[in-house]
Amino acid sequence: MAGLVGFHRREQKPAWWAYFDRQERGLEELQEGEECLAECRRDGEDWLGTEARSFTYRFHYPEQETKLRAGSEVCLAAGGASAGEIIAVDEARRLVTLKRGKKSGPPPEEASFIPGQPFRVDVLRQAVWTVAADLAAGGAGYPHIAALLRREPPRLTGRTAGSPVIPPDACNDPTQLLAAAIAAVRTLDRSWLVIQGPPGAGKTYTISHLIAALIADGKTVGIASNSHKAIDNVLHAVETRLHGAGRPVAILGQKKDGAGDDRFAGRGYIASVADNKRVDTSLPILAGTAWLFAREDLRASRDVLFVDEAGQVSLGNLVAMAQGARSLVLVGDQMQLAQPIQGAHPRDSGVSALDHLLGGHAVVPPERSIFLSRTWRMHPNLCGFISAAVYDGQLR
Rounded distance between C-alpha atoms, residue 205 and residue 253, angstroms = 19
How confident is the model at residue 337, as a pLDDT?
58
Of 70-79, 222-231, 252-261, 329-338, where does mean pLDDT reach its minimum? 329-338
Q: Is the pLDDT of residue 392 over 80?
A: no
CA angle 47, 85, 262 (to 5 degrees): 115
- The mean per-residue pLDDT over the stretch 315-321 comes to 93
Of the candidates 57, 14, 55, 52, the one whose C-alpha atom is nearest the C-alpha of residue 35 is 14
pLDDT tens-place string over residues 265-293: 999 999 999 988 999 999 999 999 999 99
pLDDT tens-place string over residues 185-228: 999 999 999 998 877 778 999 999 999 999 999 999 999 999 99
How confident is the model at residue 167, as a pLDDT?
85
pLDDT tens-place string over residues 17-47: 999 999 999 999 999 989 999 999 999 998 9
Contacts of 268 (CB under 8 A, 6+ apart): 239, 249, 250, 251
In this predicted model, which residue has the larger pLDDT, 350 or 328? 328
List of domains in the chain? 6-115 (2.40.30.270), 121-391 (3.40.50.300)
Residue 44 contacts residue 359 (beta carbons within 8 Å):
no
pLDDT tens-place string over residues 356-374: 887 777 777 888 888 886 7
How confident is the model at residue 389, as a pLDDT?
60
Residue 223 contacts residue 235 (beta carbons within 8 Å):
yes
- CA 220 to chain CA centroid, Å, is 19
How confident is the model at residue 340, as a pLDDT?
67
How confident is the model at residue 3, as a pLDDT?
77
Most confident of 4-8, 134-138, 217-221: 217-221
Q: Is 350 exposed, middle or buried (0-12, 13-18, 19+ CB in 10 A)?
A: buried
**Residue 339 pLDDT level (bands cut at 50, 70, 90):** low
**Residue 395 pLDDT level (bands cut at 50, 70, 90):** low
- The mean per-residue pLDDT over the stretch 143-158 comes to 92
Rounded distance between C-alpha atoms, residue 318 and residue 310, angstroms = 9
Q: Is the pLDDT of residue 336 over 70?
A: no
pLDDT tens-place string over residues 302-316: 999 999 998 888 899
Q: Is the pLDDT of residue 331 over 90?
A: yes
Sheet containing 325-332, strands listed edge to edge, beginning at the edge strand earlier in sequence: 270-273, 253-256, 285-288, 221-224, 302-307, 325-332, 192-196, 369-371
Segment (H or E) for 290 = helix 290-293
Q: Is the pLDDT of residue 110 over 90?
A: yes
Quick one: DSSP state of residue 314? B
What value does the CA radius of gyration of the chain take, rounded to a whole number of Å?
23
Q: Is 303 helix (H, G, I), strand (E, B) or coil?
A: strand
**Residue 338 pLDDT level (bands cut at 50, 70, 90):** low
